[in-house]
Amino acid sequence: MAQLKELFQDADWKAEKHVPVIEAPVKAKKQEPIPVTVTVGKEIPHPNTTEHHIRWIEVYFQPKGEKFPYQVGRFEFTAHGESVQGMNTSTVYTQPSVKLSFRTEKPGTILASSYCNIHGLWENSQELDVE
């Protein structure tokens, strides 16, 4: 039986349109808000059509030395150009990019995952030092 961890894909986001790109500082001060932007399709735009789109992005923080990560955000995208006239006939299409902030007292790892309705689960991570 497959395990969820085996289903996540990763790659260099500069060459792959499905990887969630994390933009966050590498250093932060204790208990100050840490701004995070996660975008799918930063260098190579993702189509985001009715047939091929990003459904969601999740962001986690794994404090160093702790067993489990904390979910700091989940974002669902629901406008993919569909309308009563048919596929890709709407003028509304979601761009899979989110901004959030969180606070922490510990260093650790920011993790992001995304789901493409055709190409599955993708992940990325970035270390965060806290002083």
Q: Report the candidate in 57, 45, 41, 52 with the shortest Cα–Cα distance to residue 82.
A: 52
Task: For residue 53, indicate whether it is catalytic.
Answer: no
Can you give the pTM of this predicted structure?
A: 0.91
Q: Which of 42, 46, 53, 80 is catalytic?
A: 46
Q: Confidence band (pLDDT; 50, 70, 90) for 16?
A: confident
Domain that holds residue 97: 4-130
4: helix, coil or strand?
helix
Task: For residue 64, indicate whether it is catalytic.
Answer: no
Q: For residue 98, what is the domain's CATH number?
A: 2.60.40.730
Question: How many structural domains compose the chain?
Answer: 1
Structure confidence by residue, pLDDT tens digits, 86-124: 999 999 999 999 999 999 999 999 999 999 999 999 999
Task: For residue 80, indicate whether it is catalytic.
Answer: no
Structure-block tokens of residue 95: 């761009």
Q: Which of 30, 52, 99, 106 is catalytic?
A: 52
Q: Which of 42, 53, 80, 116 is catalytic?
A: 116
Instruction: Report how far apart, in Å, the C-alpha atoms of 37 and of each of 4, 24, 88 are.
Output: 25, 7, 27
Structure confidence by residue, pLDDT tens digits, 37-65: 999 999 889 999 999 999 999 999 999 99
60 or 16, which is more confident:
60
